[in-house]
Structure 1
Amino acid sequence: MGESAATNNHHQHGQAFNISVDVPPHFSSKGIDDDGRPQRTGTVWTASAHVITAVIGSGVLSLAWAIAQLGWIAGPTVMFLFAFVIYYTSTLLADCYRSGDPLFGKRNYTYMDAVRSNLGESKVKLCGLIQYMNIFGVAIGYTIAASISMMAIKRSNCFHESGEKNPCHISSNPYMIGFGITQLLFSQIPDFDQIWWLSIVAAVMSFTYSSIGLGLGVAKVADNGTIGGSFTGISIGTVTQAQKIWRSFQALGNIAFAYSFSIILIEIQDTVKSPPSEAKTMKKATLISTSVTTLFYMLCGCMGYAAFGDRSPGNLLTGFGFYNPYWLLDIANAAIVIHLVGAYQVYCQPLFAFVEKYAAEKWPENKLIAKDIKIPVPFFPPYNLNLFRLAWRSGFVILTTVISMLLPFFNDVVGILGAFGFWPLTVYFPIEMYTAQKKIEKWSSRWICLQMLSVACLIISVAAAAGSIAGVVLDLKVYRPFKTSY
């Protein structure tokens, strides 16, 4: 999912409560925008880069498996359909950046600001709840994915040393605990949004492991001399008829997860300069970035499927389709772990800040919440320890780690997250906001078409969620909590 540029989400808490001064356009002085802020300098290319960085994440690793469930015809078709829906609803969302006039209307700095301006306060609460539950789920998904990659490094070295004779079964628990301890330390950094380099590191890492996956897929196809897979996907016999249906639904959720970036689109648009209007620039950027991402996904997903056919692993780099060169797999998996360590924080910081802000407003007199204890650090400025922050953030990390240890199923969790976030955040809210802003009449042909799109996407989301939940139920039949090894 697109992870790293989610740093922009941090502005949710800095910007949503700033008082902006709307300066008439002819008063805008050099270096200052019409809202009294420093002039924005973003272009089509910087916005496209942000979106590509945000989208190409760990979701790419489950695409070969998703295409294997659907086959050579339905797989790429579904991927194109998702790309089209995401592009179309993103253009609607881009129009909601300014309320009223597209060039001089009031700016909405974040996704939730846009919901507040167009749909009112009650919908903001619903949007916030979905957004924050999604973040909680992503934290669990990242813990699972990181531990799987750490185990893959250990197993690939073990295979190599034993000449591929030892099955090398190991438990995921120590790796999840290790990842959790790392996050305990990182989560205590109070102002993570200033670490801009994190986004760059995460972007480089996601391109590294995606490209290695693609390269290994190409090499495997060349080595096999044939293209694997079939027109209808995994055959009944390899799986039961019920499994085939549930897995096909789950594949929809996995593809949705790989594409989702609507949640940060408004924040990216807030970096773009005008004229031309920010909406015009953002629509171009969305077209470029969706096209590049789709091409990249097609290559990774289709090459993975061509290499392994029905046996395509749930996670391309850890499913042990590839054994050699083992050092290259180690580099790819290390890149995933580094990416996910940063991405976890980038995603969770807005939730941390939201809870702390709420607590500070609700109980301003409480010493635990309000008081910082200064701890001297040699060679650095003193560290401000806040006991509430220490307890709440540590509790959050521990809870997500324990849940990950109870449900260590990468594909199912990715499918649930994709299904849960796709319809409300990518389709429902953008369509509702656009309808309200453009005052589209109820029962007009435009209104009916938009509602039909929304309902169709809701059905897909429900099917994807059902498939992923069925997957978890099937996994739990053979799984013993905290004991299963791989």
Structure 2
Amino acid sequence: MTMGENAAVKNQQLPHHQVFSIDMQQQQGSKWFDDDGRPKRTGTVWTASAHIITAVIGSGVLSLAWAIAQLGWIAGPAVMILFSLVTYYTSTLLSACYRSGDPVNGKRNYTYMDAVRSCLGGAKVKVCGYFQYLNLFGVAIGYTIASSISMMAIKRSNCFHSSGGKNPCHMNANPYMIGFGIAEIIFSQIPDFDQLWWLSIVAAVMSFTYSTIGLGLGIAKVAESASIKGSLTGISIGPVSETQKIWRSFQALGDIAFAYSYSVILIEIQDTIKSPPAESKTMKKATLISVIVTTLFYMFCGCFGYAAFGDMSPGNLLTGFGFYNPYWLLDIANAAIVIHLVGAYQVYCQPLFAFIEKEAAQRFPDSEFITKEISVPVPGFRALKLNLFRLVWRTIFVILTTLISMLLPFFNDIVGLLGALGFWPLTVYFPVEMYISQKKIPKWSTRWLCLQILSAACLIITIAAAAGSIAGIVVDLKSVKPFQSVY
């Protein structure tokens, strides 16, 4: 969905001889090239596991303590394990669709969309695209909100520290969202920003930094109070009404689903794996390792956060530790979030940018506004290639996501809604349908029925999570005036 898809989009725009300048027939079995004429893939079970873990562990981890607080000590960890099992199982189904037909010598599918096109075709390809791009649009909004919260947390912690805790340090989120938006407008004009090799390394270091700090502070707070807060059934009726309890429990499902969402980049990761053995076998092992590691990490973060705060668990774990001590450690964690999300915003939006720009170029091939590249000299660097359509369209996109973020600045609700929108269609439905088509599983057979029951159950969970998140947004809008969010 990110780097692999963007590269695939660019390849589709080039003439065939420019993409593969060497005859593919001559390269089959070559020492330097794979069976599709591309350079030999070198990925292993460990590199694939690292890619998955890096992709999964992100800002979603910050809402897990709140999610467990809504569900309680019994249902919270149980739901997390359930999502991990479903994610693992559907990922193994999806990995079987990397090659069409024969699992060893079949045609490769380089992206999630390629797999859907190859296995299902027709209108389902467009439906998959709509869900993917809607999800990417939502992620851009979620990242804008999360980054503004972290920037404000740094400002407030320093304010608290300088005033000795006497100043409440209330502030408006809008300037921080606008600042983030301006940065993204600039970065969006850098060609192939998501292809920068060091970006993934920075993202991995930053995500592990703030996640580990959050976990460490949770453990320290539990140790300091020498008590474990929370209850078996989650947040009690009183602070919230019975109706709110139900909606919040549904929303918690969406938050947990968001934390596990990586199916849309699984095919791209699998495309880095060498063979033999068959890529699907390696990917199944990598998926098992990464899901176990991720689930353990999530359990620690969510459970220690809930144990530390109980019913008062915050929507963003790092905002719950106060702003006074240890303020410098919280500043590091929040700065890591901002750095991570500045780059992640671009990585997630590049496929959407590429899709719109490719469509525009195909529909209006003679328009200089859309196709002409202007070379802008940059002292000390190579000239920047600027395209007027890209400049205008990407700027409008960033402004739109920023405005929506200012209108709906609710991190938890947006994360829950994103998790709900992406979970059933992209993590369950399409992998199940592709696998049925790929393996030619007979309709109404026992296996076919079991897969359809799984899909239907996950659809119900998705509808519940989406309803809970929308209800949360409606409730929050009653207390927060649009464009006037003060923390």
- Shorter chain as normaliser: what TM range? over 0.9
CA contact (8 A) 2:374 2:386 kept: yes
Find the counterpart in structure 2 of residue 134 from structure 1.
Answer: 135
Q: 1:355 to 1:244 in 2, by over 3 A?
A: same
Q: 1:390 to 1:159 in 2, by over 3 A?
A: same
CA displacement at 1:26 relative to structure 2: 10
CA deviation string 1:188-230 (max 9, x = no partner)? 0122233121111011000000000000000000001100100
CA RMSD of aligned residues (A): 1.6
Find the counterpart in structure 2 of residue 200 from structure 1.
Answer: 201
> Is 1:276 the equivalent of 2:277?
yes
Instruction: For 1:213, give the aligned amino acid.
Output: G
Find the counterpart in structure 1 of residue 332 from structure 2.
Answer: 331
Q: 1:177 to 1:224 in 2, by over 3 A?
A: same
CA deviation string 1:162-203 (max 9, x = no partner)? 222222110000000000000010000122233121111011
Find the counterpart in structure 1 of residue 48 from structure 2.
Answer: 47
Instruction: Tell me how far apart the structure 2 counterparts of residues 426 and 16 of structure 1 sit (CA, whole Å).
Output: 26
CA displacement at 1:368 relative to structure 2: 0.3
Find the counterpart in structure 2 of residue 119 from structure 1.
Answer: 120
Structure 1: unaligned runs, 5 residues or longer: none
Instruction: Tell me how far apart the structure 1 counterparts of residues 471 and 380 of structure 2 sit (CA, whole Å).
Output: 54
Instruction: Tell me how far apart the structure 1 counterparts of residues 417 and 411 of structure 2 sit (CA, whole Å).
Output: 10
Aligned length: 482
Instruction: For 1:32, give the aligned amino acid.
Output: F
CA displacement at 1:147 relative to structure 2: 0.1
> Is 1:7 the equivalent of 2:8?
no
**Normalization by structure 1: what TM-score?**
0.97
CA displacement at 1:96 relative to structure 2: 0.1
CA deviation string 1:125-163 (max 9, x = no partner)? 111111001110000000000000000001111111222
Instruction: For 2:339, give the aligned amino acid.
Output: I
CA contact (8 A) 2:28 2:37 kept: no
Find the counterpart in structure 2 of residue 403 from structure 1.
Answer: 404
Counting only pairs closer than 5 Å after superposition, residues 243-392 of structure 1 correspond to structure 2 as: 243-321=244-322, 323-392=324-393
Instruction: Tell me how far apart the structure 2 counterparts of residues 53 and 26 of structure 1 sit (CA, whole Å).
Output: 33
CA displacement at 1:382 relative to structure 2: 1.9
Which has the higher mean CA deviation after the structures are superposed, 130-139 or 159-168?
159-168
CA contact (8 A) 2:5 2:110 kept: no
> Is 1:434 the equivalent of 2:430?
no
CA displacement at 1:323 relative to structure 2: 3.8
Find the counterpart in structure 2 of residue 159 from structure 1.
Answer: 160
Q: Which runs of 4+ in 1 moved over 4 A?
A: 15-27
CA contact (8 A) 1:28 1:34 kept: yes
Partner-residue secondary structure (3-state), 2:42: coil
Instruction: Tell me how far apart the structure 2 counterparts of residues 275 and 94 of structure 1 sit (CA, whole Å).
Output: 15
Instruction: Tell me how far apart the structure 2 counterparts of residues 26 and 340 of structure 1 sit (CA, whole Å).
Output: 40
CA contact (8 A) 1:92 1:431 kept: yes
Instruction: Tell me how far apart the structure 2 counterparts of residues 443 and 340 of structure 1 sit (CA, whole Å).
Output: 45
Instruction: Tell me how far apart the structure 1 counterparts of residues 323 and 311 of structure 2 sit (CA, whole Å).
Output: 15
Partner-residue secondary structure (3-state), 1:64: helix
Instruction: Tell me how far apart the structure 1 counterparts of residues 166 and 200 of structure 2 sit (CA, whole Å).
Output: 40
**Normalization by structure 2: what TM-score?**
0.96
Q: 1:215 to 1:478 in 2, by over 3 A?
A: same
CA displacement at 1:6 relative to structure 2: 3.9
Partner-residue secondary structure (3-state), 1:235: coil
Partner-residue secondary structure (3-state), 2:383: strand
CA contact (8 A) 1:15 1:109 kept: no
Instruction: For 1:79, give the aligned amino acid.
Output: M
Structure 2: unaligned runs, 5 residues or longer: none
CA contact (8 A) 2:160 2:323 kept: no
What is the percent sequence identity of the aligned residues? 75
Instruction: Tell me how far apart the structure 1 counterparts of residues 214 and 100 of structure 2 sit (CA, whole Å).
Output: 43
Instruction: Tell me how far apart the structure 1 counterparts of residues 119 and 10 of structure 2 sit (CA, whole Å).
Output: 21
CA displacement at 1:31 relative to structure 2: 1.1
CA contact (8 A) 1:16 1:113 kept: no
